[in-house]
């Protein structure tokens, strides 16, 4: 039991650190701030490609704190976006990453997908991938 009696928050913080640490290790990055930034940007861009039902199902498997990041800034009226090609997907994330020194593009986004494959159920990953346009789905390895 925690001093505040808020185990659900402590557990979510612990899980969030696990996700960030795992992703930083996959990326080989030293900056946890940049790691979290890439995770948030990629999750947001995946989110914006999904229909509401699939988005809700995916979010249910995210730790509470990451789920908050996932929904941050979401505008349901503007989704799903119609982006269809992989290069636009990659370019959007690269533009959002801006000046992050360690960012290498496609290879780093694949690390986020690998993290999701490891942390979410196989069925959910398959459902999410199936809703993405084929060129974008090809960026995300099957679980």
Per-residue model confidence as pLDDT tens for the chain (143 residues): 455 667 888 899 999 999 999 999 999 999 999 999 999 999 999 999 999 999 999 999 999 999 999 999 999 988 889 888 999 999 999 999 998 889 999 999 999 999 999 999 999 999 999 999 999 999 999 99
DSSP classification of residue 77: G
DSSP classification of residue 100: -
Note the pLDDT of residue 3. Answer: 54
* Domain parsing of the chain, residue ranges: 7-137
Q: Is the dihedral of CA 28, 23, 12, 40 positive or negative?
A: positive
Report the topology of domain 7-137: Globin-like (1.10.490)
Note the pLDDT of residue 48. Answer: 95
Give the integer Cα–Cα distance in Å for 31 and 100. Answer: 9
Give the integer Cα–Cα distance in Å for 41 and 35. Answer: 10
Give the integer Cα–Cα distance in Å for 98 and 38. Answer: 11
Q: Where are the alpha helices (DSSP H) in the chain?
A: 7-27, 32-47, 52-59, 64-71, 86-97, 106-119, 122-131, 134-137
Note the pLDDT of residue 109. Answer: 98
Burial category of 117 from C-beta neighbours within 10 Å (exposed 0-12, middle 13-18, buried 19 and up): middle
Among 130, 138, 109, residue whose Cα is nearest residue 45: 109
């Amino acid at each position: 039991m925690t001093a505040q009696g808020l185990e659900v928050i402590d557990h979510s913080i612990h899980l969030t650190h696990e996700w960030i640490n795992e992703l930083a290790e996959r990326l080989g990055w030293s900056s946890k701030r940049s790691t979290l930034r890439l995770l948030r940007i990629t999750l947001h861009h995946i989110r914006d490609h999904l229909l509401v039902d699939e988005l809700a199902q995916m979010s249910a498997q995210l730790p509470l704190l990451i789920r908050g990041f996932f929904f941050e800034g979401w505008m349901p009226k503007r989704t799903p976006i119609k982006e269809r090609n992989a290069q636009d997907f990659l370019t959007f994330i690269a533009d959002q990453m801006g000046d992050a020194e360690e960012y290498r593009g496609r290879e780093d986004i694949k690390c986020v997908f690998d993290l999701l494959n490891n942390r979410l159920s196989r069925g959910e990953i398959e459902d999410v991938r199936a809703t993405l346009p084929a060129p974008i789905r090809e960026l995300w390895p099957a679980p």
